[in-house]
A and B are shown apart, each in its own frame.
Chain A
Amino acid sequence: MTQLPETTTRKLGLVIDLDTCVGCHACVISCKGWNTENYGAPLSDQRPYGEEPMGTFLNRVHTYEVQPESGPAQTVHFPKSCLHCETAPCVTVCPTGASYKRVEDGIVLVNEDNCIGCGLCAWACPYGAREMDQEEKVMKKCTLCVDRIYNENLPEIDREPSCVRTCPAGARHFGDFSDPDSHVSRLVKDRGGMDLMPEQGTNPVNKYLPPRIKDTWGQENPLAPYLDTVHDTPTGFLGWIDSQLSRLPSGSKEGSE
């Protein structure tokens, strides 16, 4: 049913560390791979080798530049997938009941067999987390790898979302936010985890850790003395040539000074 549960037993979700993400898109690829081969309809591509290639992705990495009032700009790589919101607007708009939020762990899922492909849930999501698969004509979204995290056929180390398992920088963390002592809850507390577009009132479960303030080296570049190898006033043999050449009518007078 598309009525949201008042509370969920657990609140599973992700913490994404914007300080650590290097923008390699490995999470995008592993997500596409796992979710094409497993739960639900495969994630199709359109014209993958042609003009304007397009495809369904459940996770996309943006890159932003933040220019402070003074000082250098900072580049921030920004992975974005479903935030499994507590008051998920995508669920309540669904006319068929295909979209639902699970009571046991708070994961927002789509029952693809009931999806009519009207696209209203994608309109209702402020984050662009839902994409209509152009081949299967059903709505696709992040499942938090529901087919990995409870999968007893996988080694225990692999029972986490594919994007988290893959991230080479350790910028993605998976856990239960309803437990104040969990790894993810502590990260949010220690690092000032934040909501995206809080003014939309969606209460996202996933949190983002802001980039740390960068170290400063002060005014003086420590390598500067070593870089300063060009002589303005040559000495010795070069100095003699310089002075002789400068005597010629077209020669530069400045070099001999």
Chain B
Amino acid sequence: MHPAPSIIAFTTLSGLGFGLLAWLGIDSTPPTGMVGFVFFALAFLLAAGGLMASTLHLGHPERAWRAFSQWKTSWLSREGVCAVLAMGTMALYAAALVFTGTHIVWLGLLGAALSLATVFTTSMIYTQLKTVPRWNSRLTPLLFLVLAISGGALLSGRVSMASGLLFAAGIIQIVWWRKTDSAFSERNHTLGTATGLGDRGDVRSMAHPHSSPNYLMKEMVYVVGRKHAQNLRVISLVLMSVLPVIFLAMPYPHVFGFLAVLSHLIGVAVSRWLFFAQAEHVVGLYYGMR
């Protein structure tokens, strides 16, 4: 699948933002006043910034409001609804904390749940697609959620919690890679089943419909840069989990804390790039490619 920068930025940043919102929501002693303002502003910037980035890949962003209507069937629509509800709830919770110093516990818990629900709905947009076997796995929501929660813990300065979660995120990422590497072949999708001609012999694509790549091939059959996938996986894992855990164990928490966040963010972005670039869509079979 084509790794659109806007979607990578969106899932990375908003995942982190909603993760932070969730931690702020369940905090028994949440920050108030100016400190609270900075934390919430950061969380909203990440979450909303990510959502704004995601509209960049739309053909008609001016019609984006229509996307709230089909929550009964569409995970993309559910994501939009959840995101607005989560940010609305957390905005009220934050306003009470920042401006009046009141801690409305139930509102925070509700906002935290909605924030995690938003991350879950984001992951389901990909998980639901039977056409992309690598994504169509129960582990995909787990991966998105653990990355959001560990990133949020890191951003909210929970050092010991973040270390544990980052370690867990690394493990889940490795398991996700291992499990999904064989997903396509396990589904037994071949050019034979795609054309219905498989029982007659080996089917081979002889000529594409057109002489140069079309929208389908550019969007669904993205093969550039896959040869570096193994190296990028290691880089992603080191930046996402290993380095932040080491940084968190260092003195000078502000300097190394910042480095840990930066490293984690880049690591997640690399992981998300691979999430798309390595995902193979079944339509590639019709073109004799994967």
Residues in A lying within 8 Å of B, measured CB to CB = 1-3, 18, 25, 28, 52-57, 60-69, 73-76, 78, 80, 89, 91-98, 114-120, 122-128, 131-132, 134, 136-138, 194-201, 208, 210-211
Most A-side CB within 10 Å, residue of B63, B188, B191, B281: B63
Report the minimum CB–CB distance from A25 to chain B (whole Å): 8
Cβ A199 vs Cβ B131 within 8 A:
no
Q: Which residues of the partner chain B approach A75 to less than 8 Å between Cβ atoms?
A: 206
Query: Would A56 and B201 count as touching, CB distance under 8 A?
Result: no
Q: Can you list the 5 inter-chain pairs with the closest CB atoms, starting with the nearest?
A: A117-B59, A137-B59, A60-B209, A68-B201, A96-B66
Known A-B contacts A56-B215, A138-B59; the reply to A120 vs B205 at CB < 8 A is no
* Complex contacts, A54 vs chain B, CB 8 Å: 210, 212-215
**Contact (Cβ within 8 A) B207 A62:** yes
B residues adjacent to A (C-beta < 8 A): 1, 57-61, 63-64, 66-70, 72-77, 80, 125, 128-132, 187-189, 191, 193-197, 200-216, 219-220, 281-283, 286-287
The secondary structure that dominates the A interface is loop
Contacts A198-B193, A199-B189; A126 near B282 (Cβ below 8 A): yes
Residue A66 contacts which of B58, B75, B200 (CB distance < 8 angstroms)? B200
Q: Are A93 and B128 in contact (CB under 8 A)?
A: yes
Query: Contact at A96–B70, with CB atoms within 8 Å?
Result: yes
Q: A115 with B201: in contact, given A120-B76, A132-B219 (CB under 8 Å)?
A: no
Q: Give the CA-CA distance A1 to B201 in the complex, in Å.
A: 42
The total of Cβ contacts below 8 Å across the A-B interface reads 196
Complex Cα spacing A223 to B147, Å: 72
Check A122–B214 contact: CB distance below 8 A: no
A95-B76, A132-B219, A196-B193 known, 7 other contacts, Cβ within 8 Å = A63-B206, A74-B200, A95-B69, A96-B77, A116-B61, A119-B59, A124-B129
Cβ-defined contact, B131 with A3, below 8 A: no
Q: Which chain A residue has the least Cβ–Cβ distance from B218?
A: A54
Known: A97-B70, A126-B130. A200 touches B282 (CB 8 A): yes
Indicate whether A131 sits within 8 Å of B197 (C-beta atoms), given known contacts A89-B131, A123-B132: no
Return chain B residues, CB-CB under 8 Å to A94. Answer: 70, 74
Q: How far is the CA of A76 from the CA of B189 in the complex (A)?
A: 19
- Report B-chain residues with C-beta under 8 Å of the C-beta of A66: 197, 200-204
Look across to chain A and name the residue whose beta carbon is closest to the beta carbon of B126: A123
Measured CB to CB, the closest approach of chain B to A60, in angstroms, equals: 4
Closest B residue to A52 using CB positions: B212
Distance (whole angstroms) from the CB of A23 to the closest CB of chain B:
8
- A139: nearest residue on chain B (CB-CB)? B59
Which chain B residue lies CB-closest to A71?
B201
